[in-house]
Structure 1
């Protein structure tokens, strides 16, 4: 049966090797049964450039390449942690880099795909920071530095982000309802799939007497991950362990 899988927020790193192995096993056991696998951001906990080859990056890339070679189309979207993933990584893995947002047709259902951070517009400090670090001049300057310098900078940014997050009210780190509604209207989508917030749920939104559906993806953990599987019969959640 034709099916398409959606995951996000794996936050893979050398400090999360159990999650890395879970993902690699997922790529060999569950993902090959799908026609498409969409990774909607934050595959990695940090990405300092395609030239960084520290373990377990090579092992992850080989597993992704095997999946794409076996016939599953692999799609990748930047997250707020790994927005420096580039074309070199995609060539090595067989992944296709997607824009955020991207509108796709899932068995006749117009569906908007996003990482999700663009929906959290009440967190003005984060939105400002995101604009700054995704500026092409900032990226060019960052990538011009040595790998060690980039690692230190990334560590500093993560520490600042964690400290700032601990001081913020929970409400502003979730999506803004009006922002969500505006994306549904702008893209004329019936469904929205996103991650980022780590608040997995399926929401029904009424707009102009029409129902729209927002599917929030889960963060992956050391012993299990969650995905959304879409088939001609509809949307369902699965746990992989």
Structure 2
């Protein structure tokens, strides 16, 4: 049975190439999988299930068609779409995962994360993350007028982009010491996450035992997917289909 894992698509109407590639992925390759995991930042922004746009509803429908075909779909929050809730999941036929979540893949326990919580050296972001994810903050945000939420989302995205450019690369990347600590806590030798947009397979040693951290790639000029099957864990990029040949 094939399992596919993707993250960081940042879907938005302004990037029809990514949307087209994703819909093609769902109608083609994903139909061969028993499960599809989407590890956060699926959308560029999400201000609440009650504010779902026609574009976002079309993505939910595409996921629902895959779910109805027999592929189980699991979705995890990212730092851009942490307000995504059960309303979207019901429409899309998917299950919302906690971050982190321990699952069985390829016959072994694996820890799945979005990855932003591993960037502990970015203290300003970690403080903001704790504030935004607090249940009281989420309650307030979900009850703000839609226009206010839209303005706040634009402001946060702009500030995030500016601050990321200003910070040193090691500050916005994963804290190396946090990785083995968390893997030991959950009793795994494989960690899979996205967020950093730096796809790679990092080989580690934890208590003298081999381990690995697999970083999923973002979808921009090309797509990325991790496939788990009887051949093991295979991380690879793929080209987007041209607009005139989008049908699988």
TM bracket, shorter-chain basis: over 0.9
- Shift, 1:32, TM fit: 0.6
Measured against aligned partners, the alpha-carbon deviations of 1:53-108 in whole angstroms (never above 9, x if no partner) come to 32411211110000000000000000011011111111101110001111111132
- Equivalent in the alignment of 2:81: 82
Q: For the residues of structure 1 that align with 2:44 and 2:96, how far apart are their CA atoms?
A: 18
Matches within 5 A, 1:128-167: 128-167=127-166
Q: 1:112 maps to what in 2?
A: 111
- In the alignment, which residue of structure 2 is the partner of 1:224? 222
CA-based RMSD of the aligned residues comes to 1.0
Segments of structure 2 that go 5 or more residues without pairing to the other structure are: 241-248
- Does 2:208 correspond to 1:237? no
Match of 2:136, SS state, is helix
Structure 1: gaps spanning 5 or more residues: none
Give the corresponding residue for 2:43: 44
Query: For each residue in 1:109-132, what CA deviation from the matched residue of structure 2 results, as whole angstroms up to 9, or x when unmatched?
Result: 111000001111110011000001
1:177 is paired with a residue whose SS is coil
Contact 1:111 1:193 in 2 (8 A): yes
Normalization by structure 1: what TM-score?
0.97
Could you tell me how far 1:232 is from its partner in structure 2?
Answer: 2.5
Q: Secondary structure at the match of 2:79?
A: coil
Map 1:4-43 onto structure 2 (within 5 A): 4-43=3-42
Aligned length: 239
2:246 corresponding residue in structure 1: none
For residues 198 and 210 of structure 1, the distance between their equivalents in structure 2, rounded to whole angstroms, comes to 27
Per-residue deviation at 1:224? 2.3
Q: Which residue of 2 aligns with 1:62?
A: 61
Task: State whether residues 229 and 237 of structure 1, in contact with CA within 8 Å, keep that contact through their aligned partners in structure 2.
Answer: yes
8 Å contact 1:14–1:55 — kept in the other structure? no
CA deviation vs aligned residue, 1:187-232 (integer Å, no higher than 9, x gap): 11011100000000000101111000110000001x5201000012
Following TM superposition, the consecutive aligned residue runs of length 4 or more in structure 1 with deviations greater than 6 angstroms are none
Contact 1:101–1:114 under 8 Å retained in 2: yes
Q: What is aligned with 1:197?
A: 196
Say which SS state the counterpart of residue 205 (structure 1) adopts. strand
Name the structure 2 match of 1:103. Answer: 102
Aligned counterparts of 1:58 and 1:207: Cα–Cα separation in 2: 43
Q: Distance in 1 between matches of 2:175 and 2:236?
A: 26
Partner residue in 2 for 1:184: 183
Secondary structure class of the residue paired with 2:50 = coil
Q: Residues 163-174 of structure 1 correspond to what in structure 2 (within 5 A)?
A: 163-174=162-173
